[in-house]
Chains A and B, each alone.
Chain A
Amino acid sequence: MSVDKETVANIARLARVRVDESHKESLAKELSNILGWIEQLSELDTEGVEPMTSVVSMKLPLREDEVTDGGYPDKVTANAPEGAHGFYAVPKVVE
């Protein structure tokens, strides 16, 4: 599988990572190499094999749907680059 510059730009946009124009060519080459190497899995016949979801065979535990924690917005937002009144602040979204 070969990845071109446009594909790199597309997945970078999906991942919300800004990639410099000058980097796209080399990234395309690196990703192509890695994906080419990964491609060897297609040699294997996995017909009828269940995809693994968890290495430990256990049922995910359930708990009562009730509030068990909270009530300290200042602590939760303590590391925010920008915050106000116990909220996170982001650039304006709605005009």
Chain B
Amino acid sequence: MMSELTNLTIAEARDLLAKGETSSKELTEAHIAAVEAARSLNAFITETPEKALQMAEASDKRRKAGEAGVLEGLPIGMKDLFCTEGVLTTAASHILDGFHPTYESTVSRNMWNAGAVLLGKTNLDEFAMGSSNMTSHYGGVENPWRKSGDNRPLVPGGSSGGSAAAVAARCALGATGTDTGGSIRQPAAFCGIVGMKPTYGRCSRWGIVAFASSLDQAGPMGRTVRDTAIMLEAMAGYDAKDSTSVNVPVPNYEAALSGDIKGMKIGIPKEYRIDGMPAEIDQLWLQGIKWLEEAGAEVMEISLPHTHYALPTYYIIAPAEASSNLARYDGVRYGLREGADGSLDEMYEATRGKGFGMEVQRRILIGTYVLSAGYYDAYYNKARKVRSLIARDFAQAYEKVDAILTPTAPSAAFGMGDKMDDPIAMYLNDVFTVPASLAGLPGISVPAGLSQDGLPLGLQLLGKAFDEETVFKVGGVLEEAAGFDATPAFLAA
């Protein structure tokens, strides 16, 4: 019974709860056991079983009283980048040691208001900077998948690697992620689950530890397209506390899953056919095109001419914003303090030198450099101009098509420890996800097949700004056609 409960989709669990065939308490207990059983994955930084049970009991009471929200009674994981009141929040960084926020992020607040239950805070790359989850101060996360005939541990992708691993291993019905350059979509692809990055401005950034404010966006991770649609409806919404939050109504995303894409126009960007792309990824992409054509969509080649420049643009803008955002960690207001015997400047330098890991330091230094006098125009302003060109590419493409189909990542999951000595090779993981991030557009990764080694591969669908409905609709068709039902080597419970 336990494993049956943890194997449910969010939609199935919701329906069982509504029919009174299970309770939030029962569902939550099964998932608490699953979280414990999966400790070897290191997917959670903090487990909150007692809080989960309290929330589940309160949820069951609300349901009895006839008040059930969109996520009523459903146990989920929360990326440890969302501030949760009274619950340790680390951003996977040493510098936030012992930080217990005295406030709740808007997105997590929205989810509790909708009835969700917190299982714990999931692991991530430090400050969400990474594509492997290996930069976490709390150690890497193991992908529950293994190559066939090879038991070496693989990364779950990143930065939302703990969330992806937890959902894939059946520890949580769903989990939150944040995506700055691919941090929801790439780990979703690596772990064989669905991950959705909404339009910039759709979810409030208030109370999310900031990485690159013009790019960061929260989104759902789940085992089906429908589950992510249900979650996003609860997460999204205008928030006066985030000045970039956009005041538009949140639709019922689940209702968009009609399965009908007849006559819809889907673009295939020719610039995404990059050198050295594995044949199996190209094959899967062609298969995806075929599936959408068979469902009645009209598929056409499009051009996004500045694609090649998206990654270098991102690696100016994101570190520049990060170096400013991370200036707040100075050993004064929260977290770690080192070198307090010296001067104020010495304390700052000691605290930040000890508290930030290597990748975070690298990005702070790059960001400081590109923003420094004499280089600001050559690097930062140049990148902002190229960003305008990249956004214009998409705007022109969307005059002709309704959505765009690409692979999510240029490879399947790689080994823990691989690519660690080559930052640029690591950055290339995000080659297909970064352009839409720069343009602020919504995108989803849907598991679509297995590599020759038996690892999941994802396809990505991108949509127009604030048209998540089309992204979900086409994603649902892709999911249905792919019929992805493989399960990872490791399953909790």
Q: Which residues of A contact B (CB under 8 A)?
A: 3, 7-8, 11-20, 27, 30-31, 33-35, 37-42, 44, 46, 49-56, 58, 60-61, 63, 75-82, 88, 90-91, 93
1/0 contact string of B317-348 vs chain A (CB within 8 Å): 00000010001001111111100111111111
| Cβ of B265 under 8 Å from chain A | no
The answer to whether A46 and B385 have CB atoms under 8 Å apart is yes
Are A44 and B306 CB-contacts (below 8 A) given A19-B361, A79-B335, A80-B333? Answer: yes
The answer to whether B368 and A46 have CB atoms under 8 Å apart is no
Are A31 and B365 CB-contacts (below 8 A) given A15-B323, A52-B391, A55-B214? Answer: yes
Residue of A nearest to B383 (CB): A41
Chain B binding surface, main DSSP class = helix
| Cβ of B152 under 8 Å from chain A | no
The residue that A90 contacts in the complex, of B201, B344, B369, with Cβ under 8 A, is: B344
Tell me how far the C-beta of A90 lies from the nearest C-beta in chain B, rounded to whole angstroms. Answer: 6
The answer to whether B369 and A35 have CB atoms under 8 Å apart is yes
The answer to whether A11 and B356 have CB atoms under 8 Å apart is no
Are A79 and B333 CB-contacts (below 8 A) given A27-B362, A38-B315? Answer: yes
> Inside 8 A of B387's CB, which chain A residues have their CB?
51-52
Tell me how far the C-beta of B166 lies from the nearest C-beta in chain A, rounded to whole angstroms. Answer: 27
> Inside 8 A of B201's CB, which chain A residues have their CB?
55-56, 58
Residue of A nearest to B355 (CB): A17
> Inside 8 A of A19's CB, which chain B residues have their CB?
353, 361
The answer to whether B388 and A37 have CB atoms under 8 Å apart is no
The answer to whether B347 and A90 have CB atoms under 8 Å apart is yes
Alpha-carbon distance A1/B353, docked complex (angstroms): 25
The answer to whether B365 and A38 have CB atoms under 8 Å apart is no
> Inside 8 A of B386's CB, which chain A residues have their CB?
41, 44, 46, 49
Alpha-carbon distance A39/B243, docked complex (angstroms): 33
Residue of B nearest to A36 (CB): B424
Q: Which residues of B contact A (CB under 8 A)?
A: 98-102, 199-201, 214, 240, 243-244, 246, 306, 309, 312-313, 315-316, 323, 327, 330-337, 340-350, 352-354, 356, 361-362, 364-366, 368-369, 372, 378-379, 381-389, 391, 423-424, 438-440, 465
> Inside 8 A of B341's CB, which chain A residues have their CB?
91
Residue of A nearest to B363 (CB): A34
Can you show 7 pairs from A to B with CB atoms below 8 A apart?
A15-B352, A18-B353, A38-B312, A51-B385, A75-B102, A79-B335, A81-B331
The residue that B246 contacts in the complex, of A7, A53, A56, with Cβ under 8 A, is: A56
The answer to whether A17 and B356 have CB atoms under 8 Å apart is yes
> Inside 8 A of A54's CB, which chain B residues have their CB?
214, 244
The residue that B362 contacts in the complex, of A30, A41, A55, with Cβ under 8 A, is: A30
Alpha-carbon distance A39/B341, docked complex (angstroms): 42
Are A56 and B440 CB-contacts (below 8 A) given A41-B313, A82-B337? Answer: yes
The residue that A88 contacts in the complex, of B309, B333, B364, with Cβ under 8 A, is: B333
Residue of A nearest to B246 (CB): A56
The residue that B316 contacts in the complex, of A12, A33, A38, with Cβ under 8 A, is: A38
> Inside 8 A of A82's CB, which chain B residues have their CB?
337, 340
The residue that A44 contacts in the complex, of B309, B348, B384, B423, with Cβ under 8 A, is: B309
The answer to whether A17 and B347 have CB atoms under 8 Å apart is no
> Inside 8 A of B101's CB, which chain A residues have their CB?
79
Alpha-carbon distance A31/B369, docked complex (angstroms): 10
Are A18 and B352 CB-contacts (below 8 A) given A34-B366, A35-B369, A79-B100? Answer: yes
The answer to whether A37 and B424 have CB atoms under 8 Å apart is yes
The answer to whether B243 and A61 have CB atoms under 8 Å apart is yes
> Inside 8 A of B243's CB, which chain A residues have their CB?
60-61
The answer to whether B102 and A79 have CB atoms under 8 Å apart is yes
The residue that B388 contacts in the complex, of A11, A51, A90, with Cβ under 8 A, is: A51
Alpha-carbon distance A18/B365, docked complex (angstroms): 11
Alpha-carbon distance A78/B343, docked complex (angstroms): 23
Tell me how far the C-beta of B265 lies from the nearest C-beta in chain A, rounded to whole angstroms. Answer: 23
The answer to whether A78 and B312 have CB atoms under 8 Å apart is no
Alpha-carbon distance A11/B349, docked complex (angstroms): 12
Alpha-carbon distance A69/B352, docked complex (angstroms): 30
Tell me how far the C-beta of A65 lies from the nearest C-beta in chain B, rounded to whole angstroms. Answer: 15
> Inside 8 A of B334's CB, which chain A residues have their CB?
79-81
Tell me how far the C-beta of B114 lies from the nearest C-beta in chain A, rounded to whole angstroms. Answer: 25
> Inside 8 A of B379's CB, which chain A residues have their CB?
38
The answer to whether B365 and A11 have CB atoms under 8 Å apart is yes
Alpha-carbon distance A93/B102, docked complex (angstroms): 29
Closest 7 CB pairs of A and B: A55-B440, A18-B353, A51-B384, A81-B337, A79-B334, A46-B385, A18-B349
Alpha-carbon distance A90/B334, docked complex (angstroms): 12
Alpha-carbon distance A12/B362, docked complex (angstroms): 10
Residue of B nearest to A40 (CB): B312
Tell me how far the C-beta of A6 lies from the nearest C-beta in chain B, rounded to whole angstroms. Answer: 13
The answer to whether B244 and A31 have CB atoms under 8 Å apart is no
The answer to whether B246 and A58 have CB atoms under 8 Å apart is yes
Tell me how far the C-beta of B302 lies from the nearest C-beta in chain A, rounded to whole angstroms. Answer: 20
The residue that B382 contacts in the complex, of A33, A41, A91, with Cβ under 8 A, is: A41
The answer to whether B465 and A44 have CB atoms under 8 Å apart is no
Alpha-carbon distance A13/B368, docked complex (angstroms): 10
The answer to whether B332 and A88 have CB atoms under 8 Å apart is yes
Tell me how far the C-beta of A95 lies from the nearest C-beta in chain B, rounded to whole angstroms. Answer: 10
